[in-house]
Amino acid sequence: MTTQHLLLRGRILTFTAEPSGPDDTHAYHYVEDGALLIADGIIIASGSYATVAPQATAPEIVDHRPNILMAGFIDTHIHFPQVQVIASWGAQLLDWLNSYTFPEETRFADPDHSAAMASRFYDQLIDHGTTTAVAYCSVHKTSAEAYFAEGQRRNMRMIGGKVMMDRNAPDGLRDTAQSSYDDTKALIDAWHGTGRAQYAITPRFAITSTPEQLEMAGALAAQHPDCYVQTHLSENRDEIAYTATLYPQARDYLDVYQSHGLLGPKMLLGHSIHLQPREIDALAQTGAHPVFCPTSNLFLGSGLFDDAGLRARGITNAIATDVGAGTSYSMLQTLNEGYKVLQLQNQPLHPLRAFHWITRGNAVALGLEDRIGTLDAGTEADIVVLNPRATDAMALRCDRATDLFQELFILMMMGDDRAIVQTYAAGTPSKRAGARGNLQTG
């Protein structure tokens, strides 16, 4: 039986390392007339069209020229149950959680609602070019089941977990230390490593977990070292102060998690803004990953993430949307706001490093750079097609662009779902017909 090949033609940009600047040509490959050859959800050849095309056997050819083919975007911190919370007016973090987020998340006890919202959530990811996300589900096992089932249906590499929270939350949104362990264990057994799914053990944050629950989370992490661990850290000064009253024996906020055995290279710590020197030392020593959430940090007035300071310590930072406190599903708009946050601290973000960050860079933080985040042969065929001329304003600016780097900067400052021509999940075109930016091919 002959394997059906898919051949995508267009400009190709992929990364082999984090670029130090535009002259760091060893860190990336750019092919003006490039091609990707795909079979069974895997990229089997990548390079110039002249080299790759002869390797195809009776391929389906999709010519995306003059658009740019890049690895699908990776979002390392997003809240699935907050699809109808995004753009809710609020004060700061704790008020916003109590006013909007917690009441909304109680609805995810209903499996039908969870399934309906999962479908809509995945539509948004795909329409914005995101092919992998690390998501917080609600406290309800049903929400995580819906999240993973939808990911399996779409054959996407998705990571997530039900939140563990046994205090300081309303009725209908609390579990117990034991039930959180039991439900998480069952979800890991059912979903971790099933298809492209991977599990993240998810104590929401210190305020909503008792020490007993964090002990259970630590036990799960020890029993399942190949699972991720995700939580929040030092987003807001009131949050930090409240945490100190709940955990008076802890040396600092990070120590709440560290003392329960949760820190390590599989841990993702959302926000990580207001860090103490000891906490930075511990991050560097354990390999845990802070996650920069710029649109959320600006929306809630939380503070400015010190990317350069952490990187100088050898810490690998991820970047994410944090929907629904984050204000866009678009990783392009996340770069837009991230650029501004870093500019305020005299930390320039070159567009090459920016696009590395939301592709291979986030894959490195997840330890998945051998599977996703690049267009290398042998990796999973998660691909986004980008149009730097997607809107009239972008096209007008592009008329004066003289190189690839200017086009990338236009994309990250002006782009959104309209700039996403197509999104391929495991080689399957997945952007909804009629969605903004979608290109119909014959």
pLDDT recorded at residue 93: 62
Residue with tokens 């939140």: 163
pLDDT recorded at residue 100: 76
With residues binned 3-state (H G I as helix, E B as strand, rest as coil), the percentages for the chain, rounded to 5, are: 40, 20, 40
Task: Write out pLDDT tens, residues 315-335.
Answer: 999 999 999 899 999 999 999
Residue 92 has pLDDT above 70, yes or no: no
Task: Write out pLDDT tens, residues 129-151.
Answer: 999 999 999 999 999 999 999 99
pLDDT recorded at residue 441: 40
Residue 438 has pLDDT above 80, yes or no: no
pLDDT recorded at residue 2: 54
Q: Which helix (H) or strand (E) holds 405?
A: helix 404-414
Confidence of residue 60 (pLDDT cuts 50, 70, 90): very high
Task: Write out pLDDT tens, residues 356-383.
Answer: 999 999 999 999 999 999 999 999 999 9
21: left (phi over 0), alpha (psi -120 to 50) or beta: left
pLDDT recorded at residue 442: 29
Confidence of residue 439 (pLDDT cuts 50, 70, 90): low
Closest-CA residue to 373 (of 386, 358, 360): 360
Query: Residues for the chain: how many in total?
Result: 442
pLDDT recorded at residue 1: 45
Task: Write out pLDDT tens, residues 257-311.
Answer: 999 999 999 999 999 999 999 999 999 999 999 999 999 999 999 999 999 999 9
Closest-CA residue to 218 (of 155, 156, 253, 260): 260
Mean pLDDT across 23-49: 97
Task: Write out pLDDT tens, residues 170-223.
Answer: 999 999 999 999 999 999 999 999 999 999 999 999 999 999 999 999 999 999
Confidence of residue 85 (pLDDT cuts 50, 70, 90): confident
CA distance 214 to 212: 6
- Buried (b) or exposed (e) across 264-287, using 16+ Cβ within 10 A? eebbbbbbbbbbeeebbebbeebb
CA distance 212 to 224: 18
Q: Is 183 exposed, middle or buried (0-12, 13-18, 19+ CB in 10 A)?
A: buried
Number of other CB atoms surrounding residue 436 within 10 Å: 15
CA distance 109 to 82: 14
Q: What's the mean per-residue pLDDT of the chain?
A: 95
Q: Are 405 and 397 in contact (CB under 8 A)?
A: no
70: left (phi over 0), alpha (psi -120 to 50) or beta: beta
Confidence of residue 440 (pLDDT cuts 50, 70, 90): very low
Measured CA to CA in angstroms, residue 291 lies from 17, 197, 234, 245, 332 at distances of: 19, 21, 11, 25, 16
Task: Write out pLDDT tens, residues 385-425.
Answer: 999 999 999 999 999 999 999 999 999 999 999 999 999 99
Full DSSP string of 81-105: GGTTTTT---SSHHHHIIIIIHHHH
Residue 94 has pLDDT above 70, yes or no: no
Handedness of CA 29, 127, 338, 265 (dihedral sign): negative
Residue 226 CA, distance from chain mean position: 18
Instruction: Return the SS3 of 422.
Output: strand
Residue with the bigger pLDDT between 99 and 425: it is 425
Confidence of residue 96 (pLDDT cuts 50, 70, 90): low
Measured CA to CA in angstroms, residue 277 lies from 230, 249, 254, 270, 422 at distances of: 21, 18, 11, 18, 44
Task: At 320, list the tokens.
Answer: 């994410």
